[in-house]
Structure 1
Amino acid sequence: MTNVFMNWKDLQPEKVRFIDTRFDLANKTSGREMYDEGHLEGAVYWDLEQDLSEMTSKMGRHPMISKEKMTKLCRQAGLQLEDAIVVYDQGASPFALRAYFLLEWAGFTNVHVLREGYEAVKGLFRISKEQPEISVSDVVPNWEDAIYMDVDDVKKVVAGESEGQLVDARAAFRFKGESEPIDSVAGHIPTAINVDWEQLKEDGKFLEKDLLVEKLQHVTDINKPVIAYCGSGVTAAPLYASLKEAGYSDVKLYVGSYSDWIRDNEVERG
């Protein structure tokens, strides 16, 4: 099984590179403000919309970034492929896991997400208000394209031309199409099943591995390709990571997600 999450008790700050991804979808500047007010010493800041999404794209509400943008982001952070990297957000949020997915896509193999988040650990480790001095790296990503799916890949799964189980991370009422508070069309991608990502956390942190196994091992055949999506591709990242933690060996993420799918594809309700 993959260990995506790291508990604070196992953290050795002097041996890791920190990435702070705190964000608030309702207040787009608050993440950077939180970082400036104090962050784990040495952490760089990555913003969900400025850094981890391609907001000029029409392929969903938080579209996938280009390889060029990801390469530049990693180089500016001074990262090397062999670095031990720990990503965190405010806790029980999807933002660190979005960064985790992108780092995995870029071929970084020693990346973990702090299970408890910043709020739970800020009294335990050294905090700084200073932006660290970073030596830009010349890292060349080792792309893992198999974990990323676009709308054409998903169409093949829906049509039965490719194997895979789509899993929708949104709340059940949105999945069923009973109401839709954000997107223009209510429903879900045909053939998908529903696992609300909110079930994967409690008390401000993501569940421990044994509880994730208990919750997720019966979603589908554990050896079958499984594809996480949500509304905009953000809250699908915790589902993606939790499925990996629960022992699924072939997990993918449809970053465009439902907001991309509904541009010109049919949906199901119920």
Structure 2
Amino acid sequence: MPNIFVTADKMERTGRFIDTRFDLKNTDLGRTLYDEGHIEGAVFWDLNEDLSDLTKDEGRHPLPDKKQLQSLFEKSGLQYDDAIYIYDQGAAAFATRAWWILNYAGFKHAYVVNGGFEAMKDVGFSVTTEVPVFQKSTLDLQWNDDILVKRQDILHIIEGKRKATLIDARAADRYSGEFEPFDKVAGHIPTAKNYDWEQLRDGTKLVITSSILQKVPKDEEVVVYCGSGVTATPVYAILKEAGYDNLKIYMAGYSDWVNHHPIATGENQ
């Protein structure tokens, strides 16, 4: 099996399936699509309701706490030895967000379906409107705390107390400070390099590109962030697939940082 990404034609038909389709501009769309038809056996995880805790004040899509995540996994009936296949609409950031969270919780057999829902349909996976019911599981989770950093860790990187490369996964005009649709100040975290996650998109797939391999050093710690911890995850996942080992995410992201510390503007480093 691949490390992270799998194409629909290489998947085990006996695995567990998670539908993470979503639209940041139409937050009800994912649930609507699921209700209209999903892969048989798939449970639905909503970005806002399941993969974020919007009651927290840590950016726009705060990571749920461990107790909340464990409840989600157990409610979904997941086991550590399950082969778990996560799909979204293809070449999006929602399946990789769920994959990262499962990786954070210690699941070793979670995969992103490259090509998404339509690719699974095309190779003959059954589609249904029936919502599956799984027996609740009981998990003894082994959390992978090393892959998550907090605001204070970022400050240490900027101050030179911790050696790491910061990668900003947002669009170049948001990084440079020319445009900001969500946060109160445009710009980026000081010292960060920019790599727009959308450069990884090839049709409905996410692919390793030569440009990201050239941009991101492989011989030191790399911390990826975006606006709110969603679009950083495709960059993280692709780097992991490319063999990068020392990877972290600042999940709270720029939307957290901008409320507490100064920012930088200017061209891509």
- With normalisation by structure 2, the TM-score equals 0.95
User: How far did 1:10 drift?
Assistant: 0.5
Structure 2 counterparts to residues 98-247 of structure 1, below 5 A: 98-123=97-122, 124-207=124-207, 212=208, 214-247=210-243
The answer (yes or no) to whether the contact 1:216–1:246 under 8 Å persists in 2 is no
RMSD between aligned residues:
1.1
C-alpha distance in 1, partners of 2:163/2:17?
Answer: 36
C-alpha distance in 2, partners of 1:220/1:238?
Answer: 14
What SS does the corresponding residue of 2:248 show, helix, strand or coil? strand
State the AA in 2 paired with 1:170: R
Identical-residue share of aligned pairs (%)? 46
C-alpha distance in 2, partners of 1:178/1:235?
Answer: 19
C-alpha distance in 1, partners of 2:156/2:239?
Answer: 22
C-alpha distance in 2, partners of 1:193/1:242?
Answer: 17
**How far does the alpha carbon of each residue in 1:215-246 deviate from its partner, in whole angstroms, 9 at most, with x for none?**
32222331211111111111111011011112
**Unmatched tracts of structure 1, length 5 or more:** none
C-alpha distance in 1, partners of 2:213/2:243?
Answer: 8
C-alpha distance in 1, partners of 2:29/2:178?
Answer: 32
Tell me what 1:78 maps to.
77
C-alpha distance in 2, partners of 1:41/1:258?
Answer: 37
C-alpha distance in 2, partners of 1:11/1:120?
Answer: 11
State the AA in 2 paired with 1:193: K
What SS does the corresponding residue of 1:113 show, helix, strand or coil? strand
Tell me what 1:25 maps to.
24
The answer (yes or no) to whether the contact 2:226–2:254 under 8 Å persists in 1 is yes
Q: Does 1:43 align with 2:42?
A: yes
C-alpha distance in 2, partners of 1:266/1:200?
Answer: 29
State the AA in 1 paired with 2:227: G
User: How far did 1:186 drift?
Assistant: 0.7
The answer (yes or no) to whether the contact 2:224–2:249 under 8 Å persists in 1 is yes
1:260 to 232, 256, 261: 256
C-alpha distance in 1, partners of 2:224/2:93?
Answer: 13
C-alpha distance in 2, partners of 1:150/1:64?
Answer: 11
User: How far did 1:80 drift?
Assistant: 1.0
C-alpha distance in 1, partners of 2:134/2:163?
Answer: 43
C-alpha distance in 1, partners of 2:209/2:186?
Answer: 30
What SS does the corresponding residue of 1:242 show, helix, strand or coil? helix
C-alpha distance in 1, partners of 2:210/2:173?
Answer: 23
Stretches of 4+ aligned residues off by more than 4 angstroms: none
C-alpha distance in 1, partners of 2:36/2:188?
Answer: 40
C-alpha distance in 1, partners of 2:107/2:180?
Answer: 36
State the AA in 2 paired with 1:31: G
- With normalisation by structure 1, the TM-score equals 0.95
Count residues with an aligned counterpart. 264
State the AA in 2 paired with 1:196: D
C-alpha distance in 2, partners of 1:141/1:219?
Answer: 34
C-alpha distance in 2, partners of 1:62/1:182?
Answer: 12
**How far does the alpha carbon of each residue in 1:166-192 deviate from its partner, in whole angstroms, 9 at most, with x for none?**
100011111011121221101000110
**Unmatched tracts of structure 2, length 5 or more:** none
The answer (yes or no) to whether the contact 2:200–2:209 under 8 Å persists in 1 is no
State the AA in 2 paired with 1:259: S
State the AA in 1 paired with 2:139: V
C-alpha distance in 1, partners of 2:179/2:206?
Answer: 27
User: How far did 1:213 drift?
Assistant: 5.3
C-alpha distance in 2, partners of 1:109/1:254?
Answer: 21
State the AA in 2 paired with 1:116: G
